[in-house]
Structure 1
Amino acid sequence: MSSGPGHPLAYPITVTIGALAVCAAWAPFGTLDQVAAIAAVALGVCGYTGYRLALAFGILRFRRPSTAPTVRVARIRQQHRLVGRSWLEVGGTGRPRWVPVYFDPALVNLTETEGELTDRTIHVAGRRLYPSGRMRDVEPPGRLIDNPSRPDPGAPAHVAKATRLRRRLLLDSQSTVAAPIAALLWVYLDGGGFSVFLAATTIAAACTIWLSAVQGSDPT
């Protein structure tokens, strides 16, 4: 699979770069304490993104080693609070298990099929999928929507619209409603005027969008 704009990890990496750019843009205007706080935020963004990418690329294990990599998988879409994510429901392992994956257009028309899961990689229907977290033994919280049992002929047009960068950012920005509250708390603790409030709001907003993206948000 290519690493171009259509790659499942292109969006979270792009949003991560954007969040770091926002932090870097405000750093020259802050006091020493404010710059230290911005640097701590940027380090947290880099560290957590690195952890997620290490899981996705197979550097870290996302599941315990298994001697039976061939399993039955089905895609489900999770809607929990303001965030949607894609999960693979894994059968044939004694009991159902769930693993979150970064959104791939192939997931939209994925019916229950055989897949190959090692402790580091996922291959389903001839494609490599990228885990966005560790496999879990309990059902994900929130509302779970199963994929249709048959492929939808209109899915390609739906996916093309859903995966536009502007739309994905708009969906992930729903959680930014809390950014002004976090900014007010920072102003209360550290002091400062409107410029400090504006800086804290934009940094908090960028980080909430980044968190949704790096955890594997689903635009469908």
Structure 2
Amino acid sequence: MADSVPSKAAADEPSRARGLTPRAKRQLLLGVLPVAVIAVALMASLSSSLPSARAPLTAATQTATAEVVADGAAPDGRGVEVSFTDANGEERTGVIVLARPEDIPDGAEIGVQYDPDDPASVYAEGDAAHLTVRNLLFGLFWVGLVLTVCASITVFRLVSRPRLRRRAATPATARRVRVRRGLSDRSWLVLDHGGAVSWVPVYWDEAISALPRDTQITVHGNPRRNRLLLPVIDGAPIWPSGVRRESAPKGEATQPPPLDPPPRKSLLRQFRGDAAGLLLAPLLGLLWAYTDESGVAGFLAATALSAGVLFWLPSIFGSDPTGPSDDE
């Protein structure tokens, strides 16, 4: 049967393969490190700011219906002067500070909360104090969500890829293809198994650059049924960076010639090549600050977190650090 496991193929793999640490494993660990550090630092900063932001609202335990006396007051025209009757029946005045200047007609009634020990401290739903607390909580939620998603995907890759070695081994003819789409380059192995062709995205390894075209290799997994396959080249497991396809991916495909010796590309050099995507981080920061109305602090936090995520993404999709200059 074409899909059966040829035990000889598995036995022919060099025993040294069991002791290899795939380059992809180190790439995944280093790729998630910046986003983890940035997220933890942001969560610590947001958490430390939350008690002081909540303190005045927590102290404002009394409520009343206030009447607007005037708007456009200090600071910066964001203040709204109001008058109200407190719980003791005394007339009080105070200033509600809004997030931005608004035109509120005199005589309008607003539900307020105030500190009984300091009735001049008046707050209303949607004012600057409430918005600050909301932004801090919203930021904590999103930063925690990003950290959870990035860490979970990375851990899943680290755990699931080695387990592919347990699948049945089968021979296949392989050739390497480099596909460029936009700013990203990815390595693909085109596997021919019994006349059927599969395209498998993989993490780059020196063994890929040295692979002669149409070389028979060992593949763990059924090329016709399994979505994830683990190619093994000269005993080195080549982790898949995605699921197999039956057709070529979109992008500019080239077939680099095999190189002996293969080019040595450190992970640091590979990360430098992937850094082009970081240029999008300030734009994402601006978008966040605009939609969230969190100002400069929100822009800086969102830019930092976006940079961490953009640095992490190539470690998940599997970038190819080689280029045309390496093919000569």
Q: Specify the TM-score bucket, using the shorter chain as the normaliser.
A: 0.7 to 0.9
1:82 is the counterpart of 2:183: yes
- Separation (CA, whole Å) in 1 of partners of 2:206 and 2:316: 17
Deviation (angstroms), 1:129:
1.1
1:141 maps to what in 2?
250
1:152 maps to what in 2?
259
Secondary structure of the structure 1 residue equivalent to 2:23: coil
Secondary structure of the structure 2 residue equivalent to 1:168: helix
- Residues 32 and 3 (structure 1), Cα distance of their counterparts in 2 relative to 1, 3 Å cut: farther
Unaligned runs of 5+ in 1: none
Q: Which has the higher contact order (CA 8 A, sep 6+)?
A: 1
* TM-score, length of structure 2 as denominator length: 0.58
Give 1:94's match in structure 2, choosing from 169, 172, 195: 195
Alignment length (residue pairs): 208
Deviation string 1:142-175 (CA, Å, 9 cap, x unpaired) is 1111131xx434x44xx33x3241x222211212
Note the 1:107-118 alignment, pairs <5 A. Answer: 107-112=208-213, 113-118=215-220
AA paired with 2:312?
W
The ranges of structure 1 where at least 4 consecutive aligned residues each deviate by more than 6 angstroms after the TM superposition are none
Among all aligned residue pairs of Structure 1 and Structure 2, give the percentage whose two residues are the same amino acid. 28
* TM-score, length of structure 1 as denominator length: 0.84
- Residues 144 and 58 (structure 1), Cα distance of their counterparts in 2 relative to 1, 3 Å cut: farther
User: Are the aligned partners of 2:200 and 2:242 in contact in 1 as well (CA < 8 Å)?
Assistant: yes
User: Are the aligned partners of 1:172 and 1:213 in contact in 2 as well (CA < 8 Å)?
Assistant: no
1:174 maps to what in 2?
276
Unaligned runs of 5+ in 2: 1-16, 47-135, 222-228, 323-328
> C-alpha root-mean-square deviation of aligned residues, in Å?
2.4
Give 1:28's match in structure 2, choosing from 41, 44, 48: 44
Deviation string 1:66-92 (CA, Å, 9 cap, x unpaired) is 8x8111001111111111111100013
- Separation (CA, whole Å) in 2 of partners of 1:104 and 1:185: 37
AA paired with 1:45?
C
- Residues 87 and 54 (structure 1), Cα distance of their counterparts in 2 relative to 1, 3 Å cut: farther
AA paired with 1:72?
T
